[in-house]
DNA sequence: CTTGAACCTATTTTT
DNA sequence: TAGGTTCAAG
């Protein structure tokens, strides 16, 4: 079996030890996916039927990738492996079994916006103080309750939780949880957590011995990114595998150091528990410690940094790729300067090291940071792509359209109903809706069923009757026609199309295009005949379409034909990816680590793991940067450099950038490393000295801004001597680019690294001096 | 019931 | 800053 030759010793062990419980601890870049996929391929080669294998991942992308790579070894059989995200696999099982626990099989899946909206309306209904009852906080509280298998009843009885809520001035949280649950149920809806929780409930109650069916079906279970599983997910996994006569063929793969979703209930406790739970059953542990991705400077920096965390599984990640390039640190005065300097460096790397755009990534802690980088990359004419932010399916117009589709499939879907009952405007306003809501709350029936039972004005009654008739016609279409026929009918008849057509603003046209794109997507769904996964029947109904998109995110939209762009994304989003050159920006206290994490050691530890993830994305070049000041919420804020910067080994750091001289000493602002042994972290507040205000560069160059009179951009020509406020005197070496976008390459004799800079004349202020 | 203007509030987020 | 929500007047 040739694929086994592509593995190192430990990897091969992890692949061929197929029976019994296995834990694979896999460092970054250690070939984790390869092990997982080859293990599955190996199982199939040795005679296991693909559909007897269950492989759980966290992202659609990971699942897709896995199937692809299995396919390369075993061929199209790979498609019949039950490989998918926790949510999608469980949803698939629930579609079949939901009625056993009182849900319709065509249940709606609520995304977190829907969940929040439910919570908002409950808060309103209960007349609670909005200042203390923040939907985000409440949802996360409910979510973690579910993830810990705490039902509303248990929550009510749990004094500790209740006390926490009282302390946070939201004593009625348990009541909200209860109502929320009831409301989802009467809407025939499951939120993301329910897809897990209801499956657990199903297995726990075990009607018709449904659990046995799945235990027998799945002979082998594999879990990717095990460190990101929560208690609930592990409980379900145990249901599948941990019982009397089980062979316990389970393999989990994970890295405790890369656990960055604790804020969503993930717990590395699961890894520790796993070892304990399967101790008696001959658990085998394999550690993948060789990093095939990065150079030693990068790997050792990562090792050093993560060493500051408490509690971790012992492992030594190493690389045989040689030292490579040192890690760069860029110090900037402002966020704007940071943006420019990063763009400068990207340009330089492209020139000097011949990197392509696609080999470069800028990673930040928060999505809001992308703006400045966008600005400068655009100026420099470097193609880039921003990931994250609002996804296609979260756009208002798309959600509106989808809400109609959802309603046509499941009229119990209250969130969809509320969303569109008066959009486009049809005279069913707040007052009417309030009256209906009151009745709904009394009867505890789906809102849809209450529409006819409310005392209302003639006008309102008429409007509602029209609306109901319309939705019923949609329902008929959804049942009788394929998804595209139904959807395009609904788009027209609902009035959405007319509403959008009427708006001729740029945004309006954009919205129209988005709805059309959605319809195109439906069409593609109907026409697409590729088999996505096992036993997928050619169900082209609207219901089937909705099931398909509910669990898709942004990344489903097909890749741009042009892939030559610099990647901009949050560190979270970068997990699992790799780039030749990585810029980790905004390395400042209160930003990275985030201010929300500063209160607890656990919080800091998680941020550090996040930093670890960021570092280990880089193959050859790693650049860190921070700014002394940046705009936040429209206000200038001063931040100290991130504590994590002090944890980067000095000897692996390259002192660079024009800023060096203005700092004076070797590592200005950082206290001597020896006084900080990593255990005294808690009281770090005063550790970083405040000497970060650089003298104004212009002043230090001896130029008085008053004497500086910049010339018009068009006057600048190659060969001229010019003066720049920041960089001082320089010589224009060449000029590229068209009239409006002329870029000058200028050599500044007094600037340090890089002395040669490309400057967009349109924006630059240069004075000709000769 | 609809509209516009003041008002408020901000992490990360595989699903 | 930017966006969403809320509130008071049409």
Strands A721-724 and A766-768: antiparallel
Please enumerate in sequence order all residues whose Cβ is within 8 A of that of A14, keeping only pairs 6 or more positions apart, or say none: A22, A24, A35, A39, A251, A286, A288
Q: Does A265 lie in the same domain as A162?
A: no
**For residue A154, is it within any domain?**
yes
Is residue A383 located within the same domain as residue A402? no
Positions 535-564 of A with beta carbon below 7 A from strand B are 551-555
Q: Stated in angstroms, how far is A393 CA from B4 C1'?
A: 28
CA–CA distance, A612 with A67 (Å, rounded to integer)? 28
pLDDT of residue A532 exceeding 50: no
Q: Which residues of A668-690 are buried (b: 16+ CB within 10 A; e: fewer)?
A: bbbeeeeebeeeebeeeeeebee
A743 pLDDT above the threshold of 80? no
A351 dihedral zone (left: phi>0; alpha: psi -120 to 50; beta): alpha
Q: How far apart are CA A206 and CA A225, in angstroms?
A: 28
Q: How many structural domains comprise chain A? A: 5
Q: Do A628 and A583 belong to one domain?
A: yes
Is A510 in the same domain as A568?
no
Determine the pLDDT at residue A682.
29
**Active-site pick, A293, A511, A617, A630:** A617
pLDDT at A491 exceeding the cut of 60: yes
CATH code assigned at A125: 1.10.10
A225 catalytic per annotation: yes
CA triple A735-A348-A356, angle to 5 deg: 105
Which structural domain range is residue A644 located in?
A: 318-389+559-656
Q: What is the CATH number of the domain that holds A624?
A: 3.40.50.300
- Lowest pLDDT segment from A100-109, A292-301, A651-660, A708-717: A651-660
pLDDT in tens, A154-184: 999 999 999 988 888 888 999 999 999 999 9
Residue that finishes a domain, picked among A551, A583, A604: A551
Cβ of A600 near strand B (distance < 7 A)? no
pLDDT at A310: 84
Tell me the pLDDT band of A611, cut-offs 50, 70 and 90: very high
Report the C-alpha dihedral over residues A299, A301, A306, A312, rounded to 10 degrees: 40
- For A65-76, write each residue's pLDDT tens digit: 999 999 999 999
Q: Do residues A205 and A183 share a domain? A: no
CA distance A485 to A492: 11
Between CA A448 and CA A466 the distance in angstroms is: 13
CA A656 to C1' C4, in angstroms, rounded, equals: 43
Residues A547 and A610 in one domain: no
Q: Contact, A204 vs A463, CB < 8 A?
A: no
The nt closest to A430 (CA vs C1′) is: B1
In a domain, A268, yes or no: yes
State pTM to two decimals. 0.82
Identify whether A131 is a catalytic site residue: no
Q: Which nucleotides of chain C have an atom under 7 angstroms from any protein CB?
A: 1-2, 4, 6
What would the two tokens of residue A136 be?
Answer: 């985000």
Same domain, A465 and A600: no
Separation between the CA of A419 and the C1’ of B3 (whole angstroms): 19
- In the prediction, which pLDDT does A698 show? 27
pLDDT at A671: 31
> Which of A130, A185, A177 lies closest to A157, judged by CA?
A177
A33 catalytic, yes or no?
Answer: yes
The answer, yes or no, to whether residue A429 has pLDDT greater than 90, is no
Residue list, annotated binding site of A for ATP: 26-33
User: Nearest nucleotide to A371 by CA–C1' distance?
Assistant: C1
Lowest mean pLDDT among A310-314, A598-602, A755-759: A755-759
**Bind-site residues of A:** 26-33
Does residue A647 carry a catalytic annotation?
A: no
Residue A28, CB-side half-sphere exposure with 13 Å CA sphere: 30
Between A497 and A674, whose confidence is greater?
A: A497
Average pLDDT of the residues in A192-201? 96
Over residues A212-233, the mean pLDDT reads 96
Do A586 and A592 form a contact (C-beta atoms < 8 A)?
A: yes
User: If you ran DSSP here, which 8-state letter would residue A26 be given?
Assistant: E
Do A38 and A137 share a structural domain?
Answer: no
My answer on whether A528 and A617 are in the same domain is no
Q: Is A683 part of a structural domain of the chain?
A: no
Q: How confident is the model at residue A349 (pLDDT cuts 50, 70, 90)?
A: very high
- Taking residues A452-469, report their average pLDDT: 87
Are the C-beta atoms of A412 and A448 separated by less than 8 Å? yes
Which of A136, A166, A187 is where one domain is finished?
A: A187
Q: Are residues A203 and A240 in the same domain?
A: yes
Longest dimension (CA), chain A: 90
User: Does residue A574 register a pLDDT over 80?
Assistant: yes
Q: Do A410 and A542 fall within a single domain?
A: yes
Region of A224 (left: φ > 0; alpha: ψ -120 to 50; beta: rest) is: beta
Domain end, chosen from A634, A656, A678, is at A656
Measured between alpha carbons, how far is A751 from A726 in angstroms, rounded to an integer? 9
Dist CA A291 CA A258 (whole Å): 14
> Where is average pLDDT lowest: A108-117, A518-527, A692-701, A717-726?
A692-701
Mean predicted lDDT score pLDDT of chain A: 85
| A127 has a pLDDT exceeding 90 | no
Tokens 């086994």, located at residue? A4
Q: Tell me the CA–C1' distance in angstroms for A151 and B1.
A: 41
Q: Is position A136 within any domain?
A: yes
The CA distance from A620 to A635, in Å, is 36
Spatial separation of the C-alpha atoms in residues A280 and A21, rounded to whole Å: 10
> Same structural domain for residues A420 and A533?
yes
Render A322-388 in DSSP notation, one character per residue.
---SPEEEEEEEEHHHHHHHHHHHHHHHHHHH---GGGEEEEESSGGGHHHHHHHHHHTT--EEE--
């Amino acid at each position: 079996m040739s694929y086994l030759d592509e593995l190192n010793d430990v990897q091969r062990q992890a692949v061929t030890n197929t029976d019994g419980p296995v834990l694979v601890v896999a460092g970054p870049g250690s070939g984790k996916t390869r092990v997982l996929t080859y293990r599955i391929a190996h199982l199939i080669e040795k005679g296991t039927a693909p559909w007897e294998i269950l492989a759980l991942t966290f992202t659609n992308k990971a699942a897709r990738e896995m199937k692809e790579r299995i396919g390369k070894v075993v061929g199209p059989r790979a498609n019949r492996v039950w490989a998918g995200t926790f949510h999608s696999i469980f949803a698939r099982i629930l579609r079949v079994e939901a009625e056993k626990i009182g849900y319709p099989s065509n249940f709606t899946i609520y995304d977190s916006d829907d969940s929040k909206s439910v919570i908002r309306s409950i808060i309103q209904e209960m007349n609670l103080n909005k200042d203390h009852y923040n939907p985000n906080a409440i949802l996360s509280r409910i979510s973690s309750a579910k993830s810990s298998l705490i039902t509303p009843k248990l929550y009510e009885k749990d004094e500790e939780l209740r006390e926490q809520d009282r302390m946070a001035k939201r004593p009625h949280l348990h009541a909200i949880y209860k109502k929320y649950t009831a409301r989802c149920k009467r809407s025939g809806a499951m939120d993301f957590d329910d897809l897990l929780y209801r499956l657990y409930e199903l297995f726990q109650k075990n009607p018709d011995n449904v659990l046995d069916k799945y235990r027998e079906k799945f002979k082998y279970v594999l879990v990717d990114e095990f460190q990101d599983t929560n208690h609930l997910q592990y409980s379900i996994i145990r249901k599948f595998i941990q019982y009397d006569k089980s062979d316990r063929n389970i393999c989990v793969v994970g890295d405790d150091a890369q656990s960055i979703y604790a804020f969503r209930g993930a717990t590395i406790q699961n890894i520790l528990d796993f070892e304990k739970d399967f101790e008696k059953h001959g658990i085998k542990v394999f550690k993948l410690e060789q990093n095939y991705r990065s150079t030693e400077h990068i790997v050792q920096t990562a090792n050093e940094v993560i060493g500051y965390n408490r509690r971790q599984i012992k492992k030594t990640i190493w690389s045989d790729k040689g030292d490579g390039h040192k890690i760069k640190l860029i110090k900037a005065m402002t966020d704007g300067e940071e943006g420019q300097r990063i763009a400068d460096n990207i340009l330089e790397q492209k020139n000097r090291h011949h990197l392509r755009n696609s080999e470069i990534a800028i990673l930040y802690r928060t999505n809001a940071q992308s703006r400045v980088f966008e600005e400068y990359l655009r100026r420099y004419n470097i193609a880039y792509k921003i990931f994250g932010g609002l996804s296609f399916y979260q756009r208002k117009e798309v959600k509106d359209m989808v809400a109609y589709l959802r309603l046509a499939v499941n009229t119990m879907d209250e969130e969809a109903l509320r969303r569109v009952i008066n959009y486009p405007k049809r005279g069913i306003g707040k007052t009417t809706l309030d009256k209906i809501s009151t009745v709904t709350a009394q009867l505890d029936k789906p809102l849809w069923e209450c529409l006819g039972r409310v005392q209302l004005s003639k006008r309102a009654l008429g409007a509602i009757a029209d609306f109901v008739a319309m939705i019923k016609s949609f329902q008929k279409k959804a049942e009788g026609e394929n998804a595209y026929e139904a959807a395009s009918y609904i788009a027209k008849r609902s009035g959405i199309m007319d509403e959008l057509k009427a708006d001729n603003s740029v945004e309006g046209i954009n919205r129209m295009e988005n709805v059309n794109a959605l319809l195109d997507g439906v069409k593609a769904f109907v026409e697409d005949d590729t088999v996505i996964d096992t036993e997928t029947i050619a169900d082209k109904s609207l219901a089937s379409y909705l099931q398909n998109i509910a669990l898709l995110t942004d990344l489903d939209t097909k890749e741009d034909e042009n892939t030559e762009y610099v990647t901009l994304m949050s560190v979270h989003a970068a997990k699992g990816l790799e780039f030749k050159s990585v810029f980790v920006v905004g390395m400042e206290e209160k930003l990275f680590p985030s201010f929300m994490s500063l209160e607890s050691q656990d919080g800091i530890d998680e941020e550090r793991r996040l930093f670890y993830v960021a570092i280990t994305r880089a193959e050859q070049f790693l650049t860190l940067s921070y700014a002394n000041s940046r705009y936040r919420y429209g206000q200038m804020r001063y931040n100290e450099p991130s504590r994590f910067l002090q944890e980067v080994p000095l000897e692996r750091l390259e002192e660079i950038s024009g800023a060096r001289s203005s700092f004076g000493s070797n590592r200005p602002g950082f206290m001597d490393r020896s006084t900080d042994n990593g255990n005294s972290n808690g009281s770090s507040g005063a550790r970083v000295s405040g000497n970060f205000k650089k003298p104004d560069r212009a002043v230090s160059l001896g130029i008085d801004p008053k004497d500086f009179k910049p010339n018009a951009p068009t006057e600048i020509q190659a060969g001229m001597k010019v003066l720049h406020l920041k960089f001082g005197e320089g010589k224009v070496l060449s000029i590229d680019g068209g009239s409006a976008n002329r870029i000058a390459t200028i050599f500044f004799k007094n600037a340090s690294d890089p002395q040669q800079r490309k400057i967009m004349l349109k924006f630059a202020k240069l004075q000709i001096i000769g």
